[in-house]
Amino acid sequence: MPTFQFKAMDATGAEIEDVIDAASEEEAQNTIRQMGYFVTKITVKKARKKAEAGPVKKKRGFVFGGVKSRDLTAFTRQLSILQDAGLPILRSLRILASQAKPGRLKYSLEDTCEAIEGGDTLSEAMAKSPKCFNRLYVNMIKAGEAGGALELILQRLADFQERSESLKRKVKGAMVYPVVVVSVAVGILTFIMLKIVPEFKKIFDEFDLELPNMTLMLVGTSEWVVHYWYLIPMIPVSIWLFIKMIRKFKHGRIGWDQFTLKVPIFGALIEKNTLARTARTLGTLVSSGVPILEALQITRDTSGNAIFERLYSKISEAIREGESIAKPMKENSFISFHPVAAFFWAFVIPGIGILLYLLKVLQKARILDDIVVNMVDVGEETGELDTMLYKVADVYDEEVAVLTDSLTKLMEPLLIIFLGGAVGFIVIALFLPLVKLIEGLT
């Protein structure tokens, strides 16, 4: 009969460590509960010897990349349901691992089960699979284990992931229409330049027509496309690679991220989306019992934006010196001049880009509104910081949804105008010489 080593709390809250013999982990937990204790950790004492015997592992296929956020969200919700039903954590993980498709998630769950059998806690076991469970996930599980409320933490984590996934789907769904329309438009215009315009040029050359400026411009564009058509896909790819290379450097990443937060049209969407996500992350960590400094560090690392990373770093430094969150949050939310950001402004908006950027800097543009700082201040005074952060996230989630719908509705007529203008220009440029030809023949 295996021996289980456990940690538990009695009715007074005192921590107890002991061992117990039982046929299974479930039977051991039932026996401990009958003794009047609440189990916080239980492991098989002799599991390591079994591991050393060299169990035969199943062959695994090659796995590239991490876990899809949708799959991890579904797993978290299922695990929270199983834990709420009272199943032991190891059994719950084995059930979900058996149901998962071969891939990163399934193999990580199998590794997690083996680590737990080897004596690790759930958070320690998950930390060994960083491509599946990030720091946010691991630290929330750790807080749930320390507070004896793993079921509640899993529910909060599942809610957090579902809200984040819902917002991500809305933004992606709104971008599908313009991306498809632009792609089709580029394909059609490229076909016209490659096949249609050269045929008209042959007709014009045969009749030795004097071409108007519009037609000359169209013919010149067509000749460039015929000779350098391969540059059409290479230009966006080159821009993407250039941005990736710039973001490899610290100052390049800061400049690009600052530019994306304040660029016209899409900047507000990116800024509000990042703010909503970081506020919900920090609120979830605080409500789960994670220490505030650790919560700020995790929020900083998962923000995905260098400007927000700098903001949360400054807040952490201020808290270490004894200040509150609201004051450094307000003081460090202004953007300052950065040469890389100025370069991107000048490139995207030629002529007035630098002037617009300098105007934003002089006006002390911020990445956080006063309402965010005030709500955080109220949350600190009332001891409801997590609740206020949730409200901030809800407000900005709603703003992101409204802004996304507005941009989608705005882009539809703009795309129609662009396509109509391009087609109209081509038609007029091609038929002006034909009208002159017909008039000459008449």
Question: In 35-178, at which residue ranges do the beta strands (DSSP E only) sit?
Answer: 38-44
411 Cβ contact partners less than 8 Å away, ≥ 6 residues apart: 177, 178
For residue 252, give both structure tokens.
């390049």
The pLDDT of residue 49: 42
The pLDDT of residue 242: 92
Flag residues of the chain having pLDDT under 70: 1, 11-14, 45-65, 147, 440-442
220 Cβ contact partners less than 8 Å away, ≥ 6 residues apart: none
The pLDDT of residue 232: 81
The answer to whether the beta carbons of residues 218 and 271 sit under 8 Å apart is: no
The pLDDT of residue 53: 44
CB neighbourhood size of 317 (10 A): 13
The answer to whether the beta carbons of residues 270 and 260 sit under 8 Å apart is: yes
Distance CA 35, CA 284 (A): 34
The answer to whether the beta carbons of residues 44 and 117 sit under 8 Å apart is: yes
For residue 172, give both structure tokens.
């992606």
The model's pTM: 0.69
The answer to whether the beta carbons of residues 43 and 116 sit under 8 Å apart is: yes
CB neighbourhood size of 220 (10 A): 10
The pLDDT of residue 45: 67
pLDDT in tens, 4-49: 787 777 766 667 777 777 777 777 777 777 777 777 777 876 444 4
CB neighbourhood size of 341 (10 A): 26
The pLDDT of residue 54: 43
Domain definitions of the chain by residue range: 3-45, 69-133, 166-424
Task: Give me the residues paired with residue 20 across strands.
Answer: 4
Determine what percent of the chain falls in helix, strand and coil, rounding each to the nearest 5.
Answer: 75, 5, 20
The pLDDT of residue 420: 86
86 Cβ contact partners less than 8 Å away, ≥ 6 residues apart: none
Spatial strand order in the sheet of 15-21: 15-21, 3-9, 38-44
The pLDDT of residue 136: 79
pLDDT in tens, 152-205: 888 888 888 888 788 778 777 777 878 888 888 888 888 888 888 888 888 888
